[in-house]
Structure 1
Amino acid sequence: MGRSRLSVADLAALERGRFSDGRRSYTVRASGADSPDSFQVFRTDNAADIALIVSGLTSGCLHATWGEEWRGASEASREWLRAWAFHVFYNGDGVTSARPASPGERYCNG
């Protein structure tokens, strides 16, 4: 039995909201409409650029899988993304908030 492909409208209906670090925008999408077991966070301008997938929502056994760009990020940066992802998943759109800089990375906030 093959898995059916979701339409653009179906995918849009699964979106919980967006947040930004001031340079990039991220979208949070649930795995399903009813009692989703996971959600994914991806760059809004490129859905193939996955930042984070969180699974185990219904079982309570949470597991984070980080996208390539985020695997080497500082713990503070990953915690920032994880916190905003959960906030948006449960509450909707977030606000722009500068994320902590990784070592060797600079951000201008002003």
Structure 2
Amino acid sequence: MSRPIPTGGPGSDLLERGRFSDGRTRFNVRASSVDAPESFQVYVEGNRADIVLIVSGLGTEHLHATWGEGWRSCQKAWKTWAEKAAFQVFYNGHHRGGPDAPGVVRVCNG
């Protein structure tokens, strides 16, 4: 599984958090809003209609994952990996493998 490339920069879509790949397919992670998003979605790069995963409840900490049609039947191990990779991209802008990999922590005091 490859290391994702962070997105961003001048003129970029502020809702886009980054992307990752499983070695076959590249996925983009998109927040529901710029400030205090309640959810994020993962979709196949180049096709926003092909939604892989929506994670909601970010503001309430009652997280709920909804898998897109065609992705629900994926193996549990792959879905667990994809959820973790998506969370890392959502919070850090990139996915770094391994449990001890360094990351960036964002804190909201408001």
- TM-score normalised by the shorter chain: which range applies? 0.7 to 0.9
Which structure 2 segments of 5+ residues have no match?
Answer: 1-10, 98-110
Aligned to 2:72: 71
Root mean square deviation of aligned Cα: 1.8
- Quote the Cα distance in structure 2 between the aligned partners of 1:95 and 1:70: 23
1:29 match: 30
Structure 1: runs of 5 or more not aligned? 1-9, 97-110
Runs (4+) of structure 1 exceeding 2 A deviation are: 93-96
Max Rg structure: 1
Deviations 1:73-103 (A, max 9, x none): 111011011000000000112369xxxxxxx
TM-score after normalising by structure 2: 0.74
Structure 1 Cα separation of the partners of residues 95 and 27 of structure 2: 10
DSSP 3-state at the match of 1:77:
helix
The answer (yes or no) to whether the contact 1:19–1:88 under 8 Å persists in 2 is yes
Query: In percent, how many aligned pairs have the same letter?
Result: 55
Q: Give the alignment's TM-score, normalised by structure 1.
A: 0.74
The total of aligned residue pairs comes to 87
